[in-house]
Structure 1
């Protein structure tokens, strides 16, 4: 009998969630892919970065735009309003983060975004490497630094399961629907949704957002810093593409559809029949294992 995939309860990737949650009971209760959840952060997540790290990155680092960038609402802050030129070995080099300019943008209401923590910040790199292994998925981390009383991006959907770790301050999240099926949504801005649920996320807590849930945010009466760990599982289209590649291995690249229109249709029909037969013999276990290994080895969240 074929399983009804539309109604089957999805499994909880418990090993990965154990890495992020302090209490094992929160792992068992997590509604993976179905609804949001809030739980206390594990020590690994709570210490992934500090508020003081941000000051160090502004004043004592060589961060370069767009690793650090900023947004005012949905509008990117131009790089020249965040960066400076420094002289290296007698040569002027632009694009380096200017702490004074970044702080001025924060004071004017911009949100600072620090990208790709998993590539250059050791605690985030270690956390994401372990998360990728346990979730068998790509994992990446991004930090968001927002001033008090500011709105985030308007209502939108992200592609991936998100674990939002609040580092300092409180952030208010407005959460809308969770799509039932991947065909029901696209990443990006959305309009016309019902009234949201409201969650105030406090320092030391983690908010789990299922893949595709619509949301937007507001910072309350103090500044907010949070780190989002994005978990992106292997794509279903990737499985289809890999299976087709395996089936096409025996078709020479130089082989052509030749002859009359009738001859070409016959050749195409023969090819499709051969592919259909080959697809029934694809090793599903090997296919899934290969996609999992590829996801783990691909650093980053996208």
Structure 2
């Protein structure tokens, strides 16, 4: 697993927008977390958030999502005593008049009945459809430069959603409502290992505003006591060192398709001698790997998969023609912009899209992404009148800027 050093959280304005604040909200001292806990050891932080993470997801928000958003599987599921409840028990039946199938759509009444009987409601991939968590997760991604996702678990009193288990990714548990007892056990193990997990490293009751960090592979379980609970699980799908090298190693191994010599099984010593020669060739190929190119490809892979957060974009497009020299623009919150100079051109990675422009426009682009609102007329030192209007409108259209007026 890649272990970032604290310098990665310096807040490069070409790529990040306040991400460190989101991470600090969870872990407090970022450097201490990175050095002592990231990928290594569980960590409980009491009263991490004075607002109890309620702005990210409250009980009222959960009610709204279930009753008003027409959720469909796999956006949600229900669990009880470590077992997933059959979806047919809490999804809508075929419409008796239109005969349309609704077998994957949430049935609020059935969901609440099962919750009242002890089932845990799980809302999945909330970063895709709940704006507060869309923004929060994007900010965490900027700080960590690892993909994250958000699930929520709403558990009634005296109940357990999942039995002792491990995850194949790191998690932040953010307690937003009620209380829940958590146990985190011993050394990391694979998800298919069973049996006694051993002594617990952490045995704690989370209260609203508490945070619990669990690295990949550490077994854990949770159960409510006399009050219900709602918590958000931020799953961190951390990039691992193998992705840096796997493409290059695959290409090298693909060169070893020559068959073994006839009769190889009769002479192990001769096979070993030839294997030594092959190993020497492998070492020479490994030494010739272009590490800079591999690193650039991995970082580009990350930024290219951060889709723009386009809340309010329809109004921005409708008002696009109204942009003038007197218009005040600003960088859109949680927008991605990673700049790369390639000879005489400037490449701007904007998440799932990219722009190519003359390298001479780098100062202008850096000016508009530094986080401070600006008037279009301030770009006069870089572009003439028509040019700066086209430049500004294009960046609004691409979701990097927005009209602050």
TM-score computed with the length of structure 2 as normaliser: 0.60
Partner Cα distance (2:288, 2:53) in 1: 43
State the Cα distance separating 1:211 from its structure 2 match: 2.4
Equivalent pair of 2:186/2:219 in contact (CA under 8 Å)? yes
Partner Cα distance (2:292, 2:54) in 1: 36
State the Cα distance separating 1:259 from its structure 2 match: 8.0
Task: Give the aligned partner of residue 203 of structure 1.
Answer: 208
Partner Cα distance (2:134, 2:61) in 1: 15
Corresponding pairs, count: 283
Equivalent pair of 2:52/2:177 in contact (CA under 8 Å)? no
Partner Cα distance (1:219, 1:194) in 2: 20
Q: Which runs of 5+ in 1 are unaligned?
A: 180-184
State the Cα distance separating 1:289 from its structure 2 match: 4.1
* Secondary structure of 1:225's aligned partner: strand
Task: Give the aligned partner of residue 290 of structure 2.
Answer: 283
The structure richer in strand per residue is 1
Report which structure shows greater RCO (CA 8 Å, sep ≥6).
Answer: 1
Partner Cα distance (1:57, 1:86) in 2: 22
Equivalent pair of 2:183/2:202 in contact (CA under 8 Å)? yes
Task: Give the aligned partner of residue 130 of structure 2.
Answer: 121
Q: Does 1:60 align with 2:57?
A: no
Task: Give the aligned partner of residue 222 of structure 2.
Answer: 217
Task: Give the aligned partner of residue 93 of structure 2.
Answer: 85
Provide closer, same or farther for how the CA distance between residues 299 and 187 of structure 1 changes in structure 2, counting only shifts above 3 A.
Answer: farther
Provide closer, same or farther for how the CA distance between residues 195 and 210 of structure 1 changes in structure 2, counting only shifts above 3 A.
Answer: closer
Q: What is the RMSD computed on CA atoms of the aligned residues?
A: 3.5
- Rg bigger for which structure? 2
Partner Cα distance (1:42, 1:294) in 2: 36
Deviations 1:188-210 (A, max 9, x none): 56432124531111112221122
Provide closer, same or farther for how the CA distance between residues 43 and 134 of structure 1 changes in structure 2, counting only shifts above 3 A.
Answer: farther
* Secondary structure of 1:207's aligned partner: strand
Task: Give the aligned partner of residue 294 of structure 1.
Answer: 301
Equivalent pair of 1:118/1:128 in contact (CA under 8 Å)? yes
Q: Does 1:48 align with 2:56?
A: yes
Q: Does 1:110 align with 2:119?
A: yes
State the Cα distance separating 1:170 from its structure 2 match: 0.7
